[in-house]
Structure formats: C-alpha cells, structure tokens
Amino acid sequence: MIDLKELKERRDEIEQNIRNRFMSVDIDEIIVLQEKRSAMLQDSEAYRAKRNENAQKMKGKLDKETRDSYIAEGKLIKETIARMEAELDVVEAAFQVKARTIPNYAHKDAPIGKEDKDSTTLKVVGKAPSFPFKPKDHVQLGESLDLIDFDTATRVSGPKFYYLKNQAVILQMAMERYALDIVMKHGFTPFITPDIAKEEILRGIGFNPRGEESNIYSLEGTDTCLVGTAEITLGGYYANQILDRKKLPIKMSGLSHCFRREAGGAGQYSKGLYRVHQFSKLEMFIYCLPEESEHYHSLILAIEEEIFTGLGLSYRVVDTATGDLGAPAYRKYDIEAWMPGRGEEGEYGEVTSTSNCTDYQARALGIRYRDDEGSIQFVHMLNGTAIALSRAMVAVLENFQNEDGSVSIPPSLVPYTGFDLIQAL
C-alpha cells in the first residue's frame, strides 16, 4: 500500500494516478474513513486517560461512598472503552480494505493507456525466423511428436491442464536448469518455494485472494490459497521483519508451480500452453534500498534478456502501459518472444515481466530496514520472471521446428538435454 499519511497531502496526484490506471477508487471516501478513524482514536485515548485518572484516585484513603462512586465511574469508563474499541475495529477494518485498493504511484515515464497497444516497444532483438514451409503451432507439434497431451488432461483434470511427455519433460527440466544457472551466476540464492500461502501474504503482495475478480484458487475451509507465482512466497519470506541494511540487496530466485484460474482466458492467443491453470516458473525477487531499486529493475530485465537471447529467440521489450501495470507496480517491463504459430502469420507473446513495486508491498507486509541514522524505513521490492516454462516451451517448439516435423534444440540447451533434436518416435 502507499504511505497513508500522504492521502490528503497528495490527494489530487493520487486521484490522477488512479485515472491513469483506469481504476475505480473513491479516494474521498477513504479520506473520510481515515478522519473518522483518527477522531475515534483520539476519543478512545481520552477515555483511557480518564480510566488512569480514576485508578489513581482510588489509591488514596477513601470513605466507602467515595470509593463506590469511583468504582461505578470506572466500570462505566471500561464499558465505554470496550464499545468504542468495537466501533473502531469496524472503521479500521473498512479503512484498511479500502486503502489497499489504492494503487502504487506510477513512474513518470510509464506510458499512459488501457490496452496492450498503448504500451511502448523499447527495442526489438533478433530476427523472426522465416520458414520455407507453413509452420505448425506448438499444439500441432506437441501432438505429432507425442510431447503434450491436452485431451487426457482435460478428462482427468479439466480444460487448460496438460501432460508433458517424452522429450518435452527433459526439455522443460533443461530450460529450468539453464535459467537457474544464469540467475545464480548473478548472485541469486535458489529456492524451491511452497505452493500454498496465507491470504494475508497474498493481500500484502497485492493479489486478491477471493471474489469474482480473483485469479487465485482459494483452499476451502482455510485462510490459504494456491500461489499464482513464487513472487508471493518470496515476497512474504521477510514479512514483519527488520532487515540488516548491510545485507541488502537480498536476491532470491524461486522455482514453484503456479496455479491460476485464468477466468475468461479464451481464443487463439490463449490456446495450448500459452494460458493454462498450472505451470512451473522460475522467479527472481530482490529486496533493496529505495535509492537502488531502479538500478535493480534494469538488472532483472537484463538477466531476462540474457536468458532469451541465449535461447536464440527473437523478442521485443515493452514498457507496460499504466492500465496494465497491476496495482503494486511502479513500472513494469515485459519481454514478448516471437511465436510463429500464434495468429495467422505469427505474433509476439509475453514470456516474462519484471516489476519495480517500490515500497508498496513492503508497507503492507511490514518489511523494513534501519538507515544510517537509526530510523526505520521500508525496503523496495522487485520481481521478475526468469523463465515461465510453459510459454518458453511454446517459443522453443515453434521457432526451432523443421520442415520434416522435427524440432531442433537450441544449442544453449543441448548440454542440459543430452540430445539436439526431437523427432517422431
């Protein structure tokens, strides 16, 4: 969440930021709740002072009538405080829920817009392959090479699930280790993270764990959910802790399964592996000093580029429009790889994103550090996809296909797979 002490001081700026993100948040309603909360806190403190005064009066030598009077007054004060605290709890809960709907401030250079077309392409790397034949999409390749089974997964688990088979299993494991080696080279500590997190952690990271708009699977009868990304579990790792300034930045990389409801995801651009309910992903996460977060945001993007350049894929880097940032993000970059089987003539499809969330998540999760003057400050938190294995599989299969229906393995992956070609068995 943003610094709530700034609500009135930066009201117009916050409201404009909400409009730029095409969100609907009533900032004045939140300010009214904040003022009501403040007034109730003051009233409650005043009654606690009365309670203390009453307790002091009863310490002296008193006759029975005076003592009984003080006891009755103390009882009344106690009942009033209990009532006020109950009312304050209701207002506090409403204030916190509403305040969390305010998005992070956006970077001044983030393009303003609502749709993908409003994002800015920063650069294009590599050349999309030209085939002397009509390329297949990954669904066709997966079927002809016996690599992916969507039909059985639909019968067993439902739509948008899949089985990987044969060489595709080895290929996924190879991409996983290939990307892990790169991020470890850059000083990221590897983790295999839990697939379940508490709802309070999801809310702190900025995910909505419940409701029609949620993309998260909640576990019935618990206060937990299946995670949609290791960003959640890595971001919650230091919740409610004060970090040692000397140990910053903390660079972590988490391998996890990711579970997403993907409600409404349909159509050509969502077919096959591109948009599924479960996949595996290697995530990067950094905790750092506020003045260093833009530097580390650029570093994460550079690592993502290193991974996809090393795979020999053509891609473009996109500065994401404000309407598609997500509430926690101050700025977000996407990498979109060329996918020959996407659409009629091939299209770019998102394979990674990286977000600088500044102190937005840290405030909600209570993750702080002590500065050189001894004051407690909030860290900045950043996340970025090293490799989403399902979408990377799409890009590799489609870009490295051959006219005879086989698929060549990118040279950087051959040491990890042990073979350089996938062909029909």
Same domain, 338 and 376: yes
Same domain, 193 and 270: yes
Last residue of a domain, one of 99, 131, 148: 99
Same domain, 168 and 298: yes
* 57 within some domain: yes
CATH number at residue 356: 3.30.930.10
State the pTM of this model: 0.91
What pLDDT shows up at residue 265? 52
Sequence length of the chain is: 425
Taking the CA atoms of the chain, what radius of gyration do you get in angstroms?
A: 27
Same domain, 122 and 93: no
Same domain, 206 and 59: no
What pLDDT shows up at residue 66? 82
What pLDDT shows up at residue 133? 94
* 375 within some domain: yes
Give the rounded distance of the alpha carbon of 372 from its chain centre. 30
Per run of 10 residues, the mean pLDDT along the chain (length 425 residues) is 92 96 94 94 89 79 79 87 92 93 96 91 95 95 97 96 97 98 98 97 90 83 95 98 96 97 61 94 98 98 98 97 95 97 92 98 96 93 98 98 97 98 90
Same domain, 49 and 165: no
Same domain, 385 and 250: yes
* 163 within some domain: yes
What is the residue whose two structure tokens read 């770019």? 348
In terms of Cβ atoms closer than 10 Å to its own Cβ (0-12, 13-18, 19+), residue 281 is buried
* 107 within some domain: no
Give the rounded distance of the alpha carbon of 281 from its chain centre. 13
What is the residue whose two structure tokens read 């795979």? 311
Beta strand spans in 111-188 (E): 120-125, 148-149, 163-164
Same domain, 71 and 156: no
Tens of pLDDT, residue by residue over 52-70, are 888 877 777 777 788 778 7
DSSP 314: -
Select from 293, 338, 372 the least CA-distant residue to 126: 338
* 151 within some domain: yes
Domain containing 28 equals: 4-99
Instruction: State whether residue 257 is helix, strand or coil.
Output: strand
Strands 368-370 and 242-243: parallel
DSSP 132: S
DSSP 188: P
Torsions phi, psi for 143 (to 5 deg): -75, -50
Distance CA 359, CA 397 (A): 39
CATH number at residue 71: 1.10.287.40
Same domain, 257 and 191: yes
Same domain, 292 and 410: yes
Last residue of a domain, one of 65, 99, 133: 99
What pLDDT shows up at residue 52? 84
Select from 115, 125, 144, 117 the least CA-distant residue to 341: 144
Same domain, 89 and 122: no
The answer to whether the peptide bond before residue 249 is cis (omega within 30 degrees of 0) is: yes
* 109 within some domain: no
What pLDDT shows up at residue 408? 98
* 106 within some domain: no
Same domain, 177 and 76: no
Contact 331, 345 (CB under 8 A): no
Q: What is the total count of domains within the chain?
A: 2
